[in-house]
Amino acid sequence: MFPFVGEIPGRVRNLLSRFKRFFTTRPQYDNFCRAVLGMIVAGKKEHDVKSINELFIDRKDQSSFNRFFTESRWSAEDVVREANELLISEEEEQEEEEEEDELGRSNTNVEYKILDDTVCRKYSPRTEMVCYNHSSTMGTILSHDYVTSLYVDNNSGVSIQDGLKLYGSEKKCKEKRVGFKTKVQLACELIDEHEQRAERTIFLWDSWYTMYDIVARCRAHGYNWIGEMKVNRIVFYRSKKYHVHELIEKLRSDGRFRDVVMNGELYQACKLDVFLPRIGNASIVVNVNAETNDVHVLCTDLMGCSARQIVRHALKRGKVDQFYKEAKFLGLGEYRFRESEAALIRDCVKTPTLQNNYRQVPRTKHNQANSG
């Protein structure tokens, strides 16, 4: 028989890790994983221990594989009991997901506000408030840096830019004789300025903004929030201190991840309640894209929601990337005004929404005189 199984797939190993505690040695557990995968691959065909072993490119010693079945030092009853518990829990989760879908269709009175920032390249150092800012795609460039707010209506799906603040370095603010504000302070102002249109508001942001000041401002207004979190952050889980990356490895070892299908893509997710210094009690959701293995850690105050619900909310943040793409294609940042206020007003007017794509404002004598 031609061998074709190279290794145990990550999804299968994650599922089988729930049984790891029933095996006293690593070779036992490895034989168990090989046996299960071999029987899955065999399907309805008749296979014995030898033929299952021959499916693998890296074969085990045949006698070791035989002893795993014939002289087992593990309890088949424990494995069967755990398998039954796994099947029951999966069925219950499926029923909960169907209920959540029904609730999601009926309870659509939710709005999202996505906080982020973006840079627009400039070429003249004489332009007000221009400074060197970092871009994930272009590196450190001379630019204007905007802190933005994108409004997303969950009912209609409409996305609207409803907040735009120009960031300036301390040096540039001093030259202009205006008070310096950090990006975090500008983001807090956007939260304060939000006009709530739905019963529930959920703010979404990346790991840069997951900090006490932003969370506290949301709490003050009664808004919920979901932010990404870096894996080097410290959390307390069951009164024990962990770096997030250490906790992720523990969750994998304990077989805590579950398959979650969202928007046609498969994720493996796990939710648990933790305590974060300064922020306090929160839930974190570790979700892994099954295709790319990209790991994202979400932190939220939606402690009563399931992992699936939280991931579904968090995926709305992807709309901001499409918004930037469309906005810059239609001219966001393409100006040559020397005065920073003129640049800011121009982009507030020019920025497109999914409802309306505004035409470019005609150049008046005033802004012609101020263009560089």
pLDDT (average), residues 261-277:
88
What is the chain's mean pLDDT, rounded?
Answer: 79
The model's confidence at residue 224, banded by pLDDT at 50, 70 and 90, is very high
pLDDT tens for each residue of 192-221: 999 898 999 999 999 999 999 999 999 999
Between 27-36, 117-126, 199-208, 363-372, the lowest mean confidence (pLDDT) is in 363-372
Residue 159 lies in a domain: yes
Does some domain include residue 50?
Answer: yes
Per the CB < 8 A criterion, the answer to whether 242 and 250 are in contact is: yes
| Number of residues assigned to the chain | 372
Instruction: State how far the Cα of 299 lies from the Cα of 279, in Å rounded to an integer.
Output: 10
Instruction: Look at residue 151 and tell me if it is in a domain.
Output: yes
Structural domain tally of the chain?
Answer: 2
Summarised one tens digit per residue, pLDDT across range 303-344 is 999 998 998 999 899 888 877 777 665 555 555 555 555 555
pLDDT digit string, tens, across residues 93-148:
555 555 555 444 444 589 999 999 888 888 777 778 888 888 777 888 888 888 99
Residue 282 counted as domain residue: yes
d(CA 195, CA 206) in angstroms, rounded, equals 22
Residue 58: band (very low, low, confident or very high) from pLDDT cuts 50, 70, 90: confident
Together in a domain, 66 and 191: no
CB-count exposure of residue 77 (10 Å: 0-12, 13-18, 19+) = exposed
Q: Give residue 45's domain range.
A: 10-74
206 or 176, which is more confident? 206
Are residue 118 and residue 65 in the same domain, yes or no? Answer: no
Same domain for 209 and 64, yes or no, is: no
